Structures are given as C-alpha cells and as structure tokens.
Amino acid sequence: MYLECVRPMVQYAFMGAKVTCFAYGQTGSGKTYTMNGDPENGVLGMYYLGADDIFALRDEQYPGLDVHVSFYEIYCGKLFDLLNSREQLQAREDAKQNVNIIGLTVKRVAHTG
C-alpha cells in the first residue's frame, strides 16, 4: 500500500504539491496499526516509511532543506493538536480559499537514523 499510495505523494510534495495522508475508518479497523506499524516486530507503518523517504529525497536532492512537521487528529468533527497535549484547534479558510489550522504546532525535525 505504501509504495502505490504514499510514496508518490512524498515525491509530489517535493515538486510543490500539497499532499495529505490520513487513515479513516471505524474503531478497530486497523488505522493505528497501518499508520504506526509495529516497530518492535519489524513492521514499519506509513509514518516511518514516509519519513524515511522524505529524508532520503531531501538528502539526495535538497541537502540544505529544513523539514517541519505538524500532527493533528480529527475526531467527532473536532481538531486536536497531537504535538500539544491534544489542544483543540479551529480550522479557517483564508481569502485565497486555503484552509489554515489556527494554533497548530509546527516543529523542525532532524533525521537521526
């Protein structure tokens, strides 16, 4: 699934596209497992695989580029910042019809592996 669905989005992002990868489904359907994997048993989820490709492309083609990350959850129609104690957030649309999540935490990340 990663190679067909997510890896191309990583490549498109480096070409300037806006991309999103999310899991949707009922409780117990495997969303968390798909996204997180089971690293203790050698199963890599979408987050790990995507991050690995992001840093590989960055190192290969854009060595001076900084990488920043935000991480939020939409649950029962509400937005929660997962990098800031699940603080509830608001989405707003600007004059250019871009959706902005007000107050969303953005952190610079470095490749350690």
pLDDT at 29 over 90: yes
* Residue 63, strand partner residues: none
Could you please report the per-residue DSSP string of 28-63? TSSHHHHHHEEGGGTEE-HHHHHHHHHHHHHHHH-T
Residue pair 101/72 in contact (Cβ under 8 Å)? The answer is yes
Confidence of residue 110 (pLDDT cuts 50, 70, 90): confident
Span 19-47, average pLDDT: 92
Domain positions in the chain are: 1-64, 66-113
Whose CA is closest to 92, among 104, 82, 108? 104
> Residue 2's pLDDT is what?
93
**Percent of the chain topping pLDDT 70:** 98
Per the prediction, the chain carries an average pLDDT of 93
